[in-house]
Amino acid sequence: MRRLIISLAALGALLAGAAPAQAAAKDPVQALKAVLGPGRGVSFTETATLADGAFEQAELRRRGAFELDAEGRVKALDVTTTGGVHGPERAIGFNHRIGGTSYRSGGVVGKWLKKGKTWWQDRHQTHLWHTELLGYDEQLVNPGEPATLAALLRNGVRSGDTVTGAITFKELERVSRWAEHASHIGWDGGTRVSYTLTLSPSGLVSGVRSTFTLAAGLDELVGKTVHVDTRYERWGGKVPIKAPDPRKTTSELCVEKLCKWRLPG
């Protein structure tokens, strides 16, 4: 009887130790689809570093939220960036059925705003140009898109709560609307993005680390390596992103003392 009790106790301990592994083995794509819906999204924080050999540019830090639709596409964003040479900057953007509208405050744009205005509105977009809002060191891998997440899982190797792999710009653009609308995705389709996903016990992505080296594009970026570490929380939470106060908003800038300057329509 004593041996039986000891054996049962050992079996119970073994099963208890296996429970977290079983929880982590949930299907991440199905877990994601279960939390997507109108008015919902995800909050995030991230650090981004641009490296050139041994030299590393001071890292940028971002925090904010994305509102996602049922397909995981970004409908709206509200992101604050710090660590840049021009000071903190906040960007709010909305994707419409056709076109997009963005608002920027602080940073370099803040130096060009007319007196009494704190936001610049830009409607001259065929879509939400998130690269222009966030920079070329943005996180290209969007784990909020089920098709993108499925491709990352296929291309990667899973070990416990992490998935490690690589995907080319061309492959990423094919499955990801976020990547498709990135300004630098078309520079070199063969560029490889190495990534590591971290999964929570519920199967949702809690973190993405990605790295890629730009082989083409702007001269000042060619040969540089982008490292981005993004942390996600509150998947499926309400994301009330609103446009700024119109009384503090302008579509005109003052550049080199020339005001009423606009982008071409």
Q: Are 239 and 225 in contact (CB under 8 A)?
A: no
Residue that wins the pLDDT comparison between 232 and 1: 232
Tell me the CB-side half-sphere exposure of residue 137, using CA atoms within 13 A: 25
* Whether pLDDT at 66 is above 90: yes
Residue located via tokens 């130096």: 111
Least confident of 11-25, 47-61, 72-86, 203-217: 11-25
Give the helix/strand (H/E) hosting 175: helix 169-175
Q: List residues bridging with 62 in a β-sheet.
A: 46, 81
Cα separation, 40 vs 36, whole angstroms:
6
Which residue is associated with the tokens 């205005």?
117
Q: How confident is the model at residue 11 (pLDDT cuts 50, 70, 90)?
A: very low
Reply yes or no on whether the pLDDT at 247 is more than 70. Answer: yes
Give the type of residue at 37: G
Q: What is the CA radius of gyration of the chain?
A: 22
What is the phi/psi pair of residue 21, to 5°?
-65, -40
H/E segment holding residue 258: strand 258-261
Which pLDDT belongs to residue 251?
87
Query: In angstroms, rounded to a whole number, what is the distance separating the alpha carbons of residues 141 and 137?
Result: 11
Mean pLDDT over 230-241 rounds to 95
- E strand or H helix that includes residue 17: helix 2-24
User: Is 207 within 8 Å of 34 (Cβ atoms)?
Assistant: no
Q: Is the pLDDT of residue 23 over 60?
A: no
More confident residue, 69 or 22: 69
Residue ranges per domain, the chain?
Answer: 28-238
Ranking 50-54, 60-64, 68-72 by mean pLDDT, the lowest is 50-54
Alpha-carbon span 202 to 263, nearest angstrom: 46
Which residue type sits at 264? Answer: P
pLDDT band per the 50, 70, 90 thresholds, residue 22: very low
Look at residue 81 and tell me whether its pLDDT is greater than 60.
yes
* Residue range 84-101, pLDDT digits in tens: 888 899 999 998 877 789
Considering the domain delimited by 28-238, tell me its CATH architecture.
Clam (2.50)
Give the separation between CA 58 and CA 76, rounded to whole angstroms: 28
51 vs 16 pLDDT, higher one: 51
Q: Are strands 40-52 and 225-238 parallel, antiparallel or unpaired?
A: antiparallel
pTM of the model: 0.83
More confident residue, 263 or 51: 51
The three-class DSSP label of residue 205 is: strand
Give the Cα separation of 95 and 74 in Å (integer): 7
Does pLDDT of 62 surpass 70?
A: yes
Give the span between the Cα atoms of 40 and 35, in whole angstroms.
Answer: 8
Range with the poorest average pLDDT among 7-11, 47-51, 229-233: 7-11
Average pLDDT over residues 198-223: 90
